[in-house]
Amino acid sequence: MFSWFNRGLVVIRPDVRFENLNPVHARRLIDAANLARPHRTTLWVLHDSGRALRMWHDERGAIPLPKTTIEPSLELAARWSAEYEAADVRIVDLTARERFLRWAQDPSWVLEHDGMGYAFEVYEGFWRQDEGLIVYPRREAMDRFVPVPRAREFLSRRIDRGGAFLLGITEGKGWWASLIILLENGEVARVSTFDDLPEGLRKGPTAEDPGKTLAREAARHYRRKATVLLLPREDFEEAARRSWSGLGGRELPTADP
């Protein structure tokens, strides 16, 4: 997610430091990333101006074609999602598909972008709803399961470009996983876990309001603005499973040094 602070630019410094990493916490965060990549059954529907050409389900294979002309819409996609037990439904018009592929490979604009910029434009174009491409559930342009526009807005509005970001995942009275990222001008300069904090904060949340306490102590410890995101393990894993729904509305405690 932090790679979208600067669109299309690598923001992990070449001299980034990895220090005081708790291997258990780090491993759990890496493993939890797999939750954002569940096996999602997809129903593909290819049609030509409403005349169904092919319907294909990832698990069930070919689906009998409708006998009447279809009128593509999100409502129709939602109905088919329930009827065929498909998590995703994509209704694609043959002409629109060909038009999209020509656009995505057009050198007149492709060569103006670097790799990340090109990927963003293509993702955004693919997820954009129009009469030729219906994607259900509706969602934003995404890159590796990260909703790019919302992630960029979240980072620019809520994470200080020269601050500290702390992620704490709790289980019971202790930390289940943790992450600390120190930023310098929007670049990741140092990565650690809560083993890097003063001893009293390493075992788990100890205060009645652990988020504000942690933000205050981290701002003092790192001498920079600190932002904290605390989640119970079950909420964290559920958010990973539903990664496109985001955490943008959650209050994040912050503190100045």
Measured distance CA(8)–CA(113) in Å, rounded: 9
pLDDT tens for 151-188 read: 677 777 777 888 999 999 999 888 999 999 999 888 88
Q: Which residues of 133-143 are buried (b: 16+ CB within 10 A; e: fewer)?
A: bbbbeeebbbb
Q: Looking at the DSSP assignment, which residues form a beta bridge with residue 181?
A: 165, 191
pLDDT at 1: 47
User: In 3D, which of 114, 87, 129, 131 has the Cα closest to residue 3?
Assistant: 114
pLDDT for res 238: 79
pLDDT band with cut points at 50, 70 and 90 for residue 30: confident
Answer yes or no: is pLDDT of 150 > 80.
Answer: no
Sign of CA pseudo-dihedral 127, 130, 131, 132: negative
Q: What confidence score (pLDDT) does residue 66 get?
A: 92
Q: Which of 136-140, 189-193, 213-217, 250-254 has the lowest mean pLDDT?
A: 250-254
Q: Is the pLDDT of residue 244 over 70?
A: no
Q: How many CA atoms lie within 13 A of 185 on its CB side?
A: 3
Residue-level pLDDT at 224 = 94
Distance of CA 22 to the CA centre of its chain: 24
Give the angle 131-248-90 at the CA atoms, nearest 5°: 25
Please return the burial class of 117, using the count of CB atoms within 10 Å of its CB with bins 0-12, 13-18 and 19+: middle
Q: Is the pLDDT of residue 233 over 70?
A: yes
> Whole-number mean pLDDT of the chain?
81
Q: What is the pLDDT of residue 35?
A: 65
- Residue 44 scores a pLDDT above 50: yes
Q: What is the pLDDT of residue 237?
A: 83
Q: Tokens for 235, please give them.
A: 């909420």
Band (pLDDT 50/70/90 cuts) for residue 8 is very low
8-state DSSP, 159: S
Phi, psi dihedral angles at 235 (to 5 degrees):
-70, -40
Burial class (CB in 10 A: 0-12, 13-18, 19+), 174: exposed
Residue 32: the pLDDT is 73
pLDDT tops 50 at residue 248: no
**Which residues neighbour 82 within 8 Å (Cβ) at sequence distance 6 or greater?**
none
pLDDT digits (tens, 9 = 90+) for 76-117: 999 999 999 998 899 999 988 888 888 888 888 888 877 767
39 pLDDT band, cuts 50/70/90, is: low
Cα 25 to Cα 170: distance, rounded to the nearest angstrom: 11
